[in-house]
Amino acid sequence: MTVTKQTVVEALAALTLPDGGDLVSQDLVRVVQVHGDHVSFVIEVESPDQAPKMEPVRLAAEQLIMKLPGVRTATVALTAHGPAAKGPARAAEPAADPPNLTIGQHPKPQTEPMNPKGVARIIAIGSGKGGVGKSTVTSNLAVALAKQGRKVGLLDADFYGPSQPRMMGVNQRPLSPDGKTIIPLRNHGVTCMSLGFLLPEEKAVAWRGAMLMGALQQMLGQVEWGTLDVLLVDLPPGTGDVAMTLCQRAKLTGAIVVSTPQDVALLDARKALNMFEMLETPVLGLIENMSTYACPKCGHEAHIFGQGGVEAAAKQMGLPFLGALPISLETRIAGDSGVPIAVGDGAMADAYGVLAARLVADGMA
């Protein structure tokens, strides 16, 4: 028997919620996808405060769908579309790390490239401007490479706007046994480190260049990355201190630039490419993100940000074009829920899988 979206929805309608009603009548089910014998969907609640209470429901829904004829595997994510309610003030909890562990200090003199021991390759992923989906591409590419059997690390070097803790579904504070060494966290097969692990989500990072350079040096030199085939570095947008420091003080395998096909984005992407050229960092290729949008109801394909601009720019500059990735609601919801779209199956996961396979085949990752 072949499972369909309708059979999945009908099955979920029979799952009663603790406070009455069901997942379907309460309009909590999002993005139902069926790919062969794999089913995936998202349960979206009102606020993060409700999420812990809904975890048993998520598990029950996953088990229910697994029992349907024709279903072999099921992935059910739990997310919230509203902010967490502010609770009463609590006494400060003791820090998990020794008090002398601080991130963000002036850089120390170095004579060797600040490449972590045991890391075979470092790939910087940058963009000329914000809002092109660079961090989304980075997290999904890291997961896709891990699914290819590679040992992958992900460094969130976007210190002003660290988004990888949310996208990778990691919100713990890293341990430090001696106040200097930092033990990174791990999820979805990827070893992760971000300044966002060490600070409250709403806290701004108001640092000047020297502090940023020192933080990057710490993230590479004090984190126990272990043995990795590749470390992806999610750079801040633009051509600022962090990107320049990484290129000048580390030996990089190369850089990947992400852009939308929009003319304004391409103008800024060219500036990022020019920076990498000036700093003698090899450019491994360009990725066109948000390339097309396919209507989930009628299938019509629209080129919201233009068409083919990144591929044309890559050809003009003699650089590899690594692929085009469409814009999709599923990718956004997956990132917000901490389960990158590349974790599961489907068209978007396949697109990242093709991109990862190409990097592996070309010896880049």
277 within a domain of the structure (yes/no): yes
The answer to whether the CB of 348 falls within 8 A of the CB of 335 is no
pLDDT in the model for residue 342: 94
User: Among 287, 244, 232, which Cα is nearest to 121's?
Assistant: 232
User: In tens digits, what is the pLDDT along the chain, a chain of 365 residues?
Assistant: 688 888 999 999 988 888 788 888 888 888 787 877 888 888 887 776 777 788 888 888 989 998 999 888 888 877 765 444 444 434 444 444 444 556 766 667 776 788 999 999 999 999 988 889 999 999 999 999 999 999 999 999 999 889 999 999 998 888 887 777 899 999 999 999 999 988 777 778 877 778 888 889 999 999 999 999 999 999 999 888 899 999 999 999 999 999 999 888 888 999 999 999 999 999 999 999 998 888 777 778 888 888 888 999 999 999 999 999 999 888 999 999 899 999 988 889 999 999 999 999 999 88
Residue 170's domain comprises 122-361
303 within a domain of the structure (yes/no): yes
Same domain flag for 135 and 75: no
Residue 160 gets the label, from left (phi > 0), alpha (psi -120 to 50) or beta, of: alpha
Sheet bearing 122-126, strands edge to edge: 185-187, 190-194, 152-156, 230-234, 122-126, 254-259, 283-289, 321-325
Joined together, the tokens standing for residue 22 give: 């069901």
90 within a domain of the structure (yes/no): no
Helices assigned H by DSSP within 237-262: 241-249
The domain boundary residue, chosen from 26, 54, 80? 80
105 within a domain of the structure (yes/no): no
Same domain flag for 44 and 140: no
The domain boundary residue, chosen from 80, 105, 138? 80
Helices assigned H by DSSP within 133-225: 134-147, 164-167, 209-221
Angle subtended by helix axes 309-317 and 263-278, to nearest 10: 30
Same domain flag for 209 and 260: yes
87 within a domain of the structure (yes/no): no
3-state class percentages of the chain: helix first, strand second, coil last, to nearest 5: 35, 20, 45
In angstroms, the first-to-last Cα distance of the chain is 40
Same domain flag for 32 and 163: no
Is pTM, for the whole model, over 0.85? no
Give the CATH number, domain containing residue 40: 3.30.300.130
User: Among 358, 118, 349, which Cα is nearest to 220's?
Assistant: 118
Helices assigned H by DSSP within the chain: 5-12, 51-66, 134-147, 164-167, 209-221, 241-249, 263-278, 309-317, 329-337, 347-361
pLDDT in the model for residue 94: 43
97 within a domain of the structure (yes/no): no
Give the CATH number, domain containing residue 320: 3.40.50.300
Tell me the one-letter amino acid at 51: A
Longest CA–CA span in the chain (Å) reads: 66
The answer to whether the CB of 214 falls within 8 A of the CB of 139 is no
pLDDT in the model for residue 96: 46
What does the alpha-carbon distance between residue 347 and residue 356 come to, in Å, rounded to a whole number? Answer: 14
What does the alpha-carbon distance between residue 125 and residue 256 come to, in Å, rounded to a whole number? Answer: 5
Joined together, the tokens standing for residue 72 give: 């072999």
Same domain flag for 214 and 267: yes
356 within a domain of the structure (yes/no): yes
111 within a domain of the structure (yes/no): no
The domain boundary residue, chosen from 18, 53, 80? 80
Instruction: Provide the number of structural domains found in the chain.
Output: 2
Same domain flag for 64 and 135: no
Dihedrals φ, ψ of 152, to 5°? -120, 140
pLDDT in the model for residue 84: 43
Enumerate the β-bridge partners of residue 285: 256
